[in-house]
C-alpha cells in the first residue's frame, strides 16, 4: 500500500514538473515573439509554429502556409475586427479621401496675375512600414483650355524652387505639397528646398508631368487618426504675357500606396 502511494506521488510530481517546463517554454517563446528591430531592419510580425513555406506558387496560384498555429481566422464585434494568424497579419489597410474639385479665381490675361488654391486628402494606413503618395497629371501640359495652356512649372535646378518664379513673358502652373508627411524633396531650411526639415507653407514649387512624383511619405503606421496631405496649386501669367481667356482645367491623378 505504501509503495503504491509513493509511486502515485512520484507521477504527480513529474507531471507537475512537466507542466512547469511547458509553461516556461511557452513564456520564453512569447518573449521571443515580440516585434524586433534595429537601425537597419524591423521584424513586422512573427509567430510560433511548427513549419511552413514562405510561398509556393505556379502560373495559376500562390500559397503561403504555416503549420501548428491555433486560434486563426476572423472574429469581430461592433468595436473591433480581428485577423488572427501569421499570414493574416501580412495584410495591411490603406484609405484615401476624395476631395471636391478645386476652382482657382480668374486672373488677368494681359495685366499678369496669379491665383492659388489647395486640395486636401486624408490618408490612413495601419501598415507598419507606412505609405507614399504620388501625383501626376493626365496630360502635358496639365492646365489647358480649348485655345491655350499654361506651361508646367519648371524649377531652375533638379530640386523644387523655394519661391514660385517665372519670366514676365510666360505663364506656368505648379504645385507645392504641405503636411506632416511631406516628402524630403519638398522640405526646406528656410531658403533652399530638399535641404533641412522645415515645411514652410507656399514654398518649394515643382511642375506636374505624366510621370508620378512622390509628394508625401512616412515610414510608420498612422492608424487611426491618419495624416492630412495638402497640395497647393498656383497658376500665374507674367506681366508681359498675353494669356488667352477661357475655362482652364487640369486633371490630376493622386495615388497612395503602402510601402
On average, the pLDDT of the chain sits at: 83
Residue 20 lies in a domain: no
For residues 103 and 238, the answer to whether their CB atoms sit within 8 Å is: no
Look up the domain containing 166 and give its range. Answer: 94-99+107-258
Tell me if 118 is assigned to some domain. yes
The answer to whether the CB of 220 falls within 8 A of the CB of 123 is no
Instruction: Please state the φ and ψ torsions of residue 151, each to the nearest 5 degrees.
Output: -65, 150
Number of folded domains that form the chain: 1
Over residues 72-89, the mean pLDDT reads 72
Element counts in the chain: helices (H) and strands (E):
1, 12
The answer to the question of residue 175 being in a domain is yes
pLDDT digits (tens, 9 = 90+) for 137-183: 999 999 999 999 999 999 999 999 999 999 999 999 999 999 999 99
**Predicted pLDDT of residue 77:** 82
Q: Report CA 26 to chain centroid distance, whole Å.
A: 36
DSSP state of 70: -
Residue 80 lies in a domain: no
Q: Which of 244, 234, 237 is nearest to 148 (CA)?
A: 244
Residue 58 lies in a domain: no
pLDDT tens track for 243-259: 999 999 999 999 999 98
- DSSP H helical segments within 39-129, as ranges? none
- Closest C-alpha to 137, from 7, 5, 248, 8: 248
Closest C-alpha among 220, 233, 227 to residue 177: 233
Out of 54-58, 70-74, 178-182, give the one with best mean pLDDT.
178-182
Q: Which residue has the higher pLDDT, 10 or 249?
A: 249
Is 244 part of any domain? yes
Query: In the prediction, which pLDDT does 120 show?
Result: 98
CATH number at residue 132: 2.60.40
Region 83-105 average pLDDT: 82
Instruction: Report, as an integer, the average pLDDT of 114-132.
Output: 94
Place of cell 491665383: 115
57 within some domain: no
User: In this predicted structure, what is the pLDDT of residue 79?
Assistant: 74
The stretch 77-84 carries a mean pLDDT of 74
In angstroms, rounded to a whole number, what is the distance separating the alpha carbons of residues 209 and 142?
7
Q: Is residue 145 part of a domain?
A: yes
pTM greater than 0.85 (yes/no): no
223 has a pLDDT exceeding 60: yes
Please check the confidence at residue 2 and state whether its pLDDT lies above 80: no
Amino acid at each position: 500500500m505504501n509503495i503504491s502511494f509513493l509511486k502515485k506521488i512520484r507521477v504527480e510530481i513529474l507531471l507537475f514538473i512537466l507542466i512547469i517546463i511547458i509553461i516556461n517554454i511557452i513564456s520564453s517563446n512569447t518573449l521571443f515573439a515580440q516585434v524586433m528591430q534595429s537601425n537597419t531592419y524591423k521584424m513586422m510580425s512573427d509567430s510560433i509554429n511548427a513549419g511552413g513555406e514562405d510561398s509556393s506558387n505556379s502560373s495559376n496560384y500562390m500559397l503561403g502556409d504555416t503549420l501548428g498555429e491555433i486560434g486563426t481566422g476572423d472574429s469581430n464585434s461592433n468595436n473591433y475586427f480581428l485577423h488572427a494568424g501569421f499570414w493574416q497579419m501580412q495584410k495591411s489597410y490603406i484609405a484615401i479621401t476624395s476631395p471636391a474639385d478645386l476652382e482657382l479665381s480668374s486672373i488677368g490675361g494681359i495685366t499678369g496675375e496669379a491665383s492659388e488654391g489647395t486640395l486636401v486628402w486624408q490618408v490612413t494606413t495601419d501598415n507598419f512600414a507606412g505609405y507614399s503618395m504620388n501625383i501626376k497629371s493626365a496630360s502635358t501640359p496639365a492646365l489647358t483650355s480649348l485655345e491655350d495652356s499654361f506651361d508646367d512649372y519648371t524649377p531652375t535646378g533638379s530640386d523644387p524652387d523655394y519661391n514660385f518664379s517665372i519670366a514676365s513673358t510666360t505663364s506656368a502652373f505648379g504645385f507645392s505639397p504641405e503636411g506632416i508627411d511631406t516628402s524630403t524633396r519638398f522640405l526646406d531650411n528656410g531658403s533652399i528646398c530638399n535641404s533641412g526639415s522645415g515645411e514652410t507653407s507656399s514654398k518649394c514649387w515643382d511642375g506636374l508631368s505624366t510621370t508620378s512624383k512622390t509628394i508625401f511619405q512616412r515610414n510608420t503606421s498612422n492608424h487611426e487618426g491618419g495624416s492630412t496631405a495638402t497640395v497647393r496649386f498656383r497658376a500665374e501669367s507674367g506681366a508681359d504675357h498675353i494669356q488667352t481667356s477661357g475655362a482652364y482645367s487640369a486633371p490630376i491623378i493622386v495615388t497612395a500606396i503602402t510601402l
